[in-house]
Structures are given as structure tokens and as C-alpha cells.
Amino acid sequence: MKLSPFIKPFLLAAVVALANGVFAGDDGVANGPFVLPELPYEKDALAPAIDADTMELHYGRHHKAYVDNLNGKVADFPDLSSTALEDIMANISTYDEVVRNNAGGHYNHSLFWELMAPPASTGEPSPELIYRLDKAFGSVDDFRKAFSDAASKVFGAGWAWLILTEDGSLLITTTANQDNPLMDVVPARGTPLLALDVWEHAYYLQYQNKRADYVERWWDVVNWHAVNERFEAAVAMPATE
Ligand code: MN
């Protein structure tokens, strides 16, 4: 097909703009298959536990960078664009370190936002979850203490998790960097029910070096509705029965 001289410069400009990511704004439009999800609340909605400046930096820059970096790896690993994030995690050992860090970062943060809610609408653990937390940890309070303790003890950057393991038990675990319990490279695997980011970027603006204070306040914004749903879905999966 021969393009008219009038159309050609516009087409060329559009192709170059696409290649340079000009169309990838902050509005969730990505220059690849992975997209920064919309936050389920306003950036100031988790205050005072987590302030708007922290959310702006954490979501708008750190999470966005994981998404952008992951999109940048599709050329090296074309199957990334047709593979569910959970399946990428389950086979993370077949990719390189950059995919591990950025796919992990994208998955972990997408989950983290969903697992928090404004303080007035967090709900509480369901009777079924309370029953299982009591059985596993003694009481819900004991669970909270053990989880906070594990989060406080992560050395350097990482995450604390409550997971349902493949044999159906509840377990508190931690991972380094952007690893998570779905990855085939971590010792304790399972379905994440609750996740806490203890990277300094998650709290340093507001709490400086006082990670324990951040962890304590974070409990005020745990979205128990979401945790309950994840728990119900996880116990219903045949593999975990
Ligand atoms: Mn983070």
C-alpha cells in the first residue's frame, strides 16, 4: 500500500510516540501488557496510618516503576504478556533477577493496596477466620503480635505474610526484597491472605526509622473484608484441602 504524503508524517509520529511511551501516562495506560491498577481509595484515605505523601510516592513512583520495568522485560521473555501474574510467580525460577524483582513488586503491591481500606470500613475477621487464627496462634491478639513481631524482624527490605499453606494450615512467613509466597524459590509457599510491606519506602517519610510504629498503625487499615474473601477462596481450592 502506498501512503499519501499527507498521512505519512502523522503515522511516523504516532509510531515514534508509541515506541517512546508517550501514550503511557499516569492514568493507567501502559506501554506494555502490565498496567498499574487503580487504587481502590483516594491517596489520603488511609491517613493517619499511612499519609497521602507516602501513598503518592509508594504507589505513584515505586509501584509504577515495577510495572514499567516488567513491561521492559517482555522483549526478553515474550511469554510474560500471555501469562497470569500468579503463574509467573509459580515459575519465577525460569526468569531472570529483573523479572523476579519487578513481577514480584507488581504482584505484591497490587495485593497490598487491596488488603488495606479506610479506617472506617475495614470490617473484622470472619468467625471462620477467627476460629482458624485461634487454633493456629492461640487468639487473634496472639496472631497480631506474632505477625507484627515477624514484620519487625525482617532484616532490610521485605514483606510479612499470613498464608494458607498447601496442606491447609495458616502460617506467618516473611520474604526478602519483592519475593512472595507464590514463588517457586521461597521456602514457605502458600496463598497470601495478608501482606505487609516493610520496605523503608513504605513508611520512612512518615515514621522515619520507627518501623514498629508503622506496623502498629497499619493494623488500623487492614481490610478484613478482603482478607476474609481471600481466606474463603483459598480454603475452597481443591489443592489446599
Ligand atoms: Mn513497597
pTM of the model: 0.86
Beta strand ranges found along the chain (DSSP E): 158-165, 170-176, 190-197
Average pLDDT over the chain, rounded to an integer: 89
Domain boundaries, the chain: 15-22+47-241
Mean per-residue pLDDT for 134-155? 98
Residue 237's φ and ψ, nearest 5 degrees, are -70, 130
Q: What is the pLDDT of residues 22-53, one digit of tens each?
A: 344 444 445 789 999 999 999 999 999 999 99
197 CA to middle of ligand 1, Å?
Answer: 6
| Residues ≥6 apart with Cβ < 8 Å to 231 | 126, 128, 129, 132, 164, 193
Nearest to 103 by CA among 83, 88, 90: 88
pLDDT at 171: 98
- Does residue 68 carry a pLDDT above 50? yes
69 CA to middle of ligand 1, Å?
Answer: 15
Q: What is the pLDDT of residues 102-117, one digit of tens each?
A: 999 999 999 999 999 9
91 CA to middle of ligand 1, Å?
Answer: 22
Residues with CB under 5 A from ligand 1 (ion): 197, 199, 202
pLDDT at 239: 55
Reduced to 3 states (helix: H, G, I; strand: E, B; else coil), residue 123 is: coil
pLDDT at 237: 78
pLDDT at 31: 72
**CATH superfamily membership of 15-22+47-241:** Iron/manganese superoxide dismutase, C-terminal domain (3.55.40.20)
134 CA to middle of ligand 1, Å?
Answer: 30
